Amino acid sequence: MSCAPESLARWGNGQPVIEVLELGKTYTSGGVTTTVLSDVDFRVEAGEIFAIVGPSGAGKSTLAQCINLLERPTSGNVIVNGKNLTQLGSRDLRAARRSIGTVFQSSSLLSRRTAAQNVALPLNYLGVTSTATRERVAELLDRVGLTDLADRYPHQLSGGQRQRVGIARALALRPSVLLSDEATSGLDPEATDSFLRLLTELRDELSLAVVFITHEMDTIVKVADSVARLDNGRIDEKGSLVDLLLDDTSRLGRSLRPRGASAAAAVGQATFEVVYRSASVPSDWISRIGTDIGAPLAVLSANVQAVDGISVGEVVISVDSAHANAFTAAAATLGLTTRANSASGQEVAA
């Protein structure tokens, strides 16, 4: 497993709210043992959104179930607020689970209960008084922007609204950890962006430690502070989002920097993939390099965006072949990594 260097994150250097240590899960059937998770290890602090991404079959769903102990891990530990959940008996575990609120892939709302009644379910289960329940439900629906829809039933709500009800219900018992298990996978782009904005606001306002499990790379760049890639039951790479995006050797970082097809370069032009690898790349680097080497640069495709105020991404550039070496040298001085596109026939890299 590789780890990107740790950068200074907004959540500081405090103690982790949740620790998953050497977690393993196996299933045995017919004398055959299948390993689904192996030595999964990560920590999440208050105010941090930790994203876990991976392909189908990587073990993400099983990991989610093991984090909130709906599924008992075969080995390892899940520690929340200093309490090891894997060592608790059933009664104590039920109480400790209140520290983890979960938003599922489908909102899992009861169809015969209104939005307000669905949010009230955890409070009803604990025997909270009617007055206190009404006040808490009203507070939560206001926080997720659904006060006017409190009396509507799930079938009267959009997918994004149902997920907001799911978030409100997950927060009912004032958890310190929020687990989002593929919660945006069934939403349209607009509803997804709305959900992610709400998640970020709640992280900031409530200092939640958020574990965000998804297969959607674009959502990670919008919401995560740090990221891990789960594959075949193991975390094979993890680090802060910005560090990964600036690391041109990172497989995970590259997958977080998708770009479309490039336009064709003119005859006699060398083509390069240019990756931002420094937080200090100047915004006018294209014109600077063009002036320095005395040759124009053509942009064939680009995907550049700001993450935590830092520009990250990739650009495909073409330049006259006679200036290829000068281009790569100039790019390196500005915090850019260049890789010759195979189609250009060049072998120059910096």
- Can you give the CATH number for the domain in which 184 is found? 3.40.50.300
296 and 198, same structural domain?
no
Inside any domain, residue 264:
no
* Mode of pairing for the β-strands spanning 49-53 and 209-214: parallel
248 and 298, same structural domain?
no
The residue among 227, 254, 281 that closes a domain is 254
68 and 191, same structural domain?
yes
Q: What is the pTM of this model?
A: 0.86
Q: For 150-167, what is each residue's pLDDT tens digit?
A: 999 999 999 999 999 999
User: Domain holding 279: CATH number?
Assistant: 3.30.70.260
92 and 8, same structural domain?
yes
Average pLDDT for the chain: 90
25 and 157, same structural domain?
yes
How many domains in the chain? 2
42 touches 213 (CB < 8 A): no
227 and 153, same structural domain?
yes
Q: For 35-58, what is each residue's pLDDT tens digit?
A: 999 999 999 999 999 999 998 889
- Is residue 308 very low, low, confident or very high in pLDDT (cuts 50, 70, 90)? confident
pLDDT of residue 104: 85
Q: Which residue has the higher pLDDT, 20 or 343?
A: 20
245 and 289, same structural domain?
no
Residue 209 CA to residue 10 CA, distance in Å, equals 12
Range of the domain at 68: 2-254
Q: For 204-257, what is each residue's pLDDT tens digit?
A: 999 999 999 998 888 999 999 999 999 999 999 999 999 999 998 999 999 998
159 touches 186 (CB < 8 A): yes
145 and 250, same structural domain?
yes
250 and 103, same structural domain?
yes
Inside any domain, residue 37:
yes
281 and 325, same structural domain?
yes
Residue 8 pLDDT greater than 50, yes or no: no
The residue among 254, 286, 318 that closes a domain is 254
pLDDT of residue 9: 45
245 and 108, same structural domain?
yes
321 touches 276 (CB < 8 A): no
pLDDT of residue 14: 73
Inside any domain, residue 197:
yes
Inside any domain, residue 350:
no
160 and 302, same structural domain?
no
The residue among 190, 221, 254 that closes a domain is 254
